[in-house]
């Protein structure tokens, strides 16, 4: 484990990019593992993501959660925006073009309605989206890429410095990381989370806001059976 940690933290760029890149590769590989395999793949990438966060924690000092009212409000607002835009799109002729499939991530279909395995994977998905994804993504998008677009020596750019070029480019790329039906919501979230960093001059508020958005969206998915959001 020490050697793996050394690889992850060998440079400031590696510490901020490699954990996210590993998570992204495993995400892309999930569909190749079949309907049941994707759930186990999600578990594996969540555990790996959690370990990489722990491994680079000292190399990425800005990766600290911060509780603030703006972060709470932003997180709740972005969850509402995500669902609202998704529902609005579903009522347009574009709905079939952007539809992900009702049972694509419905463990009730895969493992049985209300089974122990079903609820296990629901909790895993909720925990992964709320606790692992936010720090991985915010460190990559807001701490590394935003500053790297501003200057190749990204550490010379203060965290939260307002630079219009990366402020516009980074949220756009963040949006394109998501499903086509979520591009508009992803863009607004990217702008909101980046705005928090620029306002508060720290990353922790954006991590918390992102976590709240994902948590509320996950609870909405489970409560309403809106599996297309997963």
pLDDT tens per residue, range 81-105: 999 998 777 667 665 555 554 446 8
State the pLDDT at residue 103. 47
Separation between Cα atoms, residue 146 and residue 171, nearest integer Å: 9
Which distant-in-sequence residues (6+ apart) come within 8 Å of 69 by Cβ? none
User: Taking 60 as the threshold, does the pLDDT of residue 168 lie above it?
Assistant: yes
Percent of the chain with pLDDT over 70: 93
User: Phi and psi dihedrals of 10, rounded to 5?
Assistant: -65, -20
Range of the domain at 223: 63-229
User: Taking 90 as the threshold, does the pLDDT of residue 4 lie above it?
Assistant: no
User: Is 173 among the domain residues?
Assistant: yes
User: Is 10 among the domain residues?
Assistant: no
Separation between Cα atoms, residue 216 and residue 211, nearest integer Å: 9
User: Is 209 among the domain residues?
Assistant: yes
State the pLDDT at residue 97. 54
User: Is 210 among the domain residues?
Assistant: yes
What's the mean per-residue pLDDT of the chain? 92
User: Is 42 among the domain residues?
Assistant: no
Domain total in the chain: 1
Token pair 């958005």 is found at: 213
Decide if 191 contacts 171 (C-beta within 8 A).
Answer: yes
Q: Which of 145, 175, 139 is nearest to 157 (CA)?
A: 145
Global confidence as pTM: 0.93
């Amino acid at each position: 484990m020490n050697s793996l940690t050394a690889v992850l933290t060998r440079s400031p760029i590696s510490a901020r990019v490699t954990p996210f890149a590993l998570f992204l590769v495993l995400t892309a590989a999930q569909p190749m593992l079949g309907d049941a395999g994707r759930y186990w793949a999600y578990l594996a990438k969540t555990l790996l993501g959690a370990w990489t966060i722990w491994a680079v924690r000292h190399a990425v000092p800005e990766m600290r959660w911060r509780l603030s009212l703006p972060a709470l409000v932003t997180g709740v607002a972005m969850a509402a925006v995500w669902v609202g835009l998704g529902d609005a799109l579903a009522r347009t002729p574009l709905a079939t073009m952007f539809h992900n499939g009702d049972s694509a991530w419905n463990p009730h279909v895969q493992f049985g309605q209300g089974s122990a395995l079903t609820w296990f994977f629901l909790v895993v998905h909720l925990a992964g989206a709320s606790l692992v994804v936010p720090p991985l993504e915010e460190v990559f998008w807001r701490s590394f890429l935003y500053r790297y677009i501003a200057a190749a020596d990204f550490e010379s750019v203060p965290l939260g410095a307002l630079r219009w070029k990366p402020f516009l480019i980074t949220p756009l790329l963040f949006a394109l990381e998501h499903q086509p039906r979520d591009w508009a919501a992803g863009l607004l979230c990217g702008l909101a989370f980046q705005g928090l960093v620029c306002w508060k001059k720290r990353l922790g508020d954006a991590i918390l806001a992102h976590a709240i958005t994902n948590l509320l969206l996950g609870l909405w998915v489970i409560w309403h059976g809106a599996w297309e959001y997963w």
